[in-house]
Amino acid sequence: MSGMIEGKVKRISGPIIRAEGLGGAGLFDVVEVGEKRIIGEIVRLEKAEAVIQVYEDDTGLQVGALAASTGRPLSAKLGPGLMGTIYDGIQRPLEFLFKQSGAFMDPGARGEPLDSSKLWKFVPDPDLAAKIAAGEKVEAKPGMVLGSVKETESITCKIMVPPNTKGGTITFLAGEGDLNCDAIAAKTSRGEDISLAQWWPVRIPRPGAERLSPDQPLVTGERVIDVFFPLSKGGTAAIPGGFGTGKTMTQHAIAKWCDADVIIYIGCGERGNEMTDVLTEFPELQDPRTGRSLMERTILIANTSNMPVAAREVSIYTGVTLAEFYRDMGYHVAIMADSTSRWAEALRELSGRMEEMPAEEGFPAYLPTRLAEFYERAGRVRTLSGFEGSVSIIGAVSPPGGDFSEPVTQHTKRFIRCFWALDRDLANARHYPAISWIDSYSEYATEVQPWWEKVNPQWATSRQQALDLLKREQRLAEIVRLIGPDALPDDQRLVLIVAEILKDGFLQQNSFDDVDMYCVPAKQVRLLELIMNFFDRAELCIKLGAPLTKITSLPIRERLARLKSSVKNDELGGLEDFEGEMRTSMEELERSYRSKEML
């Protein structure tokens, strides 16, 4: 490789290597170490030495071995063929490595990020092709669309002029035909060859033209999220939760059902078997909108607990770079990172090996900076090409002992705007998703309100009423604990009863229920509206003097809590039928007490 600066390994401490003789190399340059040419990255430059973190197992590496800087930063290859692939943290295709080495990870094994033997049908942009054919001078602007290839049935990969182009005018545009990822799509007057695939340094955000406000919700189909704590397209969310409270299940449910076009799933330091679940389950899953395999719009990045920690550290930046690439084509991309705590532990281990001064709980002082560098790459933008695209980031956090006061949860809170706190008591009671309606919050609720009000004008009102009711229930529950429910007057006991209906019939959603695993927006709001409607009518009856038992014994009460599974997403008429019946039976009750009042 040209431009290589060579040095020698001086000290090895696990994944951290010190080398001398690399003066002139740049910070974050990629380095190849030893005979196996293990990949590493310069993470610190001191006077005579470079500190290198290596992404592969360096057992057997010896002092004195060659360390050669490639003179370029760690970069991802972006182009057709990403979709459906499973990568490790530095974009090595895992399936290729499996096949090649049989073992899990052969240090130094390469495997190209994109398969160059694969041909794609390139279709030049018709307008541009016409202009070039007519001899017009067309400037090569960042983001300009040169053409496209159909990457999968669900995704069309646009071939664009890279953001860091040297400019000039287009002197050549490839015609329609079968090309591989390294083939040239266009040439410029400044001598630049633009191939189907481009490289981008993973630690640097890809530019957009303009930031747009996050006023479109990322609809997940989970009611507690969409109605109570909504996430926007381009927004950021954290799912903190103790061991086994449902972080992974929630992320899987969102990955399967949310209305993003592209899913990037980063399995970060979790147990190997959890990742195996994703690897076996996702290809089987159907995309609810296209009926095709979910893998056609998914990229998986797997760095399980048995893989090198440095690759785990970089995996989230690789993931977000791939996400920005599809965002730039005008897609809505959702990233799931499971778990950012395991990622922070990798950071801590590397920092310890570098003998850095530890901050809170042994984490390096730059933990918040690194977290920010990840979450700040989320956003809804006008792309350089003029499209609208977004990257949403959902990070799971696994605080030790479920204690949210620890550093990773606390720092994460500074950079996210949606907090879905998983509650141990709810999980123990098998109330799933165990998202606490007391500790969670979303700062996007006002922004997405206009969108939801087009679905149903009652969205904000019902939402507020329900949240208020649950707060009242929480206060009453304290009293009940002290003196028992019988001491409460009927109107307060009604609050407890409706809160139960809200929990069972609205907030709980079983990922294994055929109907209720996903809930369409219209059904979400209507269900809530019906429950709040029931509350208003019941409250009125009690005011008129009806005893609570008259209300609790109404058959509609139980049916109300079961509507979520009894009414299918595409048969919402069932909700209207129910409303009719509810109105009849409650108006009857109301009338009978009104007439008593008259007497």
Residues that bind ligand ATP (CB under 6 A): 241, 243-249, 398, 432-433, 510-512
State which residue, 172 or 243, has the beta carbon closest to ligand ATP. Answer: 243
- Return the residue nearest Mg ion (CB atom): 248
CA distances from 592 to 542, 552, 572, 579 (A): 12, 16, 31, 20
Q: Please count the other Cβ atoms lying within 10 Å of the Cβ belonging to residue 171.
A: 16
Q: Tokens 């999220």 map to which residue?
A: 225
Nearer to ligand ATP, 375 or 432 (CB): 432
Taking the complex as a whole, how short is the minimal distance between the CB of residue 270 and ligand ATP, in angstroms? 6
Residues that bind Mg ion (CB under 5 A): 247-248
Closer to ligand ATP by CB, 125 or 222: give it: 222
Smallest gap from residue 250 Cβ to Mg ion (A):
9
**String of b and e for 489-519 (b: at least 16 CB within 10 Å)?**
ebebbbbbbbbebbbebbbbbebeeeebbbb
Non-local CB neighbours of 413 within 8 Å, separated by 6+ positions: 238, 419
Report the nearest approach of ligand ATP to the CB of residue 189 (Å).
54
410/510 with CB nearer ligand ATP = 510
Which one, of 385, 373, 369, lies nearest residue 201 by Cα? 373
Provide the 10 A C-beta neighbour count for residue 49: 18
User: Of Mg ion, ligand ATP, none, which one does residue 433 interact with (CB within 5 to 8 Å by kind)?
Assistant: ligand ATP
- Please choose which of ligand ATP, Mg ion, none residue 243 contacts, taking the beta carbon within 5 to 8 angstroms, the exact cut-off set by kind: ligand ATP
Task: Find which of Mg ion, ligand ATP, none residue 449 binds, CB within 5 to 8 Å per kind.
Answer: none
Which CB atom, from 432 or from 578, has the smaller least distance to ligand ATP?
432
| 3-class SS of residue 215 | coil
Q: Which lies closer to Mg ion via its Cβ, residue 419 or residue 452?
A: 419
Q: Report, in Å, the least distance between residue 586 CB and ligand ATP.
A: 32
CA distances from 370 to 76, 354, 374, 502, 507 (A): 19, 17, 6, 39, 34
What is the distance between the alpha carbons of residues 11 and 458, in angstroms, rounded to a whole number? 65
Find the shortest distance in angstroms from Cβ 508 to ligand ATP: 9
Q: Which is nearer to Mg ion, 278 or 445 (CB)?
A: 278
CA distances to 268, 347, 358 from 354, in Å: 22, 11, 10
244 binds, among ligand ATP, Mg ion, none (CB under 5 to 8 A by kind): ligand ATP
Helix axes 367-375, 407-415, angle to 10 degrees: 40
The secondary structure of 400-432 as a DSSP string is: GGG-TTSHHHHHHHHH-SEE--B-HHHHHTT-S
Nearer to ligand ATP, 161 or 253 (CB): 253
Q: Of these partners, Mg ion, ligand ATP, none, which one is at the site of residue 398 (CB under 5 to 8 Å by kind)?
A: ligand ATP
Give me the count of residues in the chain: 599
Question: With contact defined as beta carbons under 8 Å apart, do 8 and 50 qualify?
Answer: no
172 binds, among Mg ion, ligand ATP, none (CB under 5 to 8 A by kind): none
Residue 190 phi, psi (nearest 5): -95, 15
Q: Which does 43 bind (CB under 5 to 8 A by kind): ligand ATP, Mg ion, none?
A: none
CA 193 – CA 188 distance, rounded (Å)? 7
The nearer residue to ligand ATP, 207 or 244, going by C-beta atoms, is 244
Helical axes 340-353 vs 367-375, angle rounded to 10°: 140
**Binding partner selected for residue 458 from ligand ATP, Mg ion, none, CB under the kind-specific 5 to 8 Å limit:** none
Question: Choosing among ligand ATP, Mg ion, none, which partner's interface includes residue 407 (Cβ < 5 to 8 Å by kind)?
Answer: none
Q: Characterize 418-435 residue by residue with b for buried, 16 or more Cβ atoms within 10 angstroms of its Cβ, and e for exposed.
A: bbbbbbbebbeeebbbbb
Q: How far is the CB of 253 from ligand ATP (least distance, A)?
A: 6
Least distance (Å) from ligand ATP to the CB of residue 511? 4
Number of C-beta neighbours around residue 268 at 10 A:
30
Task: Give whichever of 397 and 531 is closer to ligand ATP, judged by the CB atom.
Answer: 397
Residue 439 amino acid letter: D
* Smallest distance from Mg ion to CB 304, Å: 12
* Smallest distance, Mg ion to C-beta of residue 306, A: 16
Which CA distances in Å does 121 have to 79, 154, 178?
A: 13, 15, 4
Instruction: Report in angstroms how near the CB of residue 233 gets to ligand ATP at its nearest.
Output: 22
CB atoms within 10 A of CB 524: 25
Q: Which does 363 bind (CB under 5 to 8 A by kind): Mg ion, ligand ATP, none?
A: none
Q: 109: helix, coil or strand?
A: coil
Is 430 or 454 the residue whose CB approaches Mg ion more closely? 430
Selection from Mg ion, ligand ATP, none that 249 binds (CB < 5 to 8 A by kind) is ligand ATP
Q: Which residue has the tokens 């038992």?
A: 549
Shortest Cβ 255–ligand ATP spacing (Å): 12
**Phi, psi for residue 349 in degrees, rounded to 5:** -65, -45
Residue 241 contact, options ligand ATP, Mg ion, none, Cβ 5-8 Å cut-off depending on partner type: ligand ATP
Nearer to Mg ion, 213 or 273 (CB): 273
Query: Which CB atom, from 249 or from 488, has the smaller least distance to ligand ATP?
Result: 249
Residue 245, contacted partner among Mg ion, ligand ATP, none, CB below 5-8 A by kind = ligand ATP
- Least separation, in Å, of the C-beta of 338 and Mg ion? 6
In the complex, minimum distance from the CB of residue 243 to ligand ATP, in angstroms, rounded to a whole number = 4
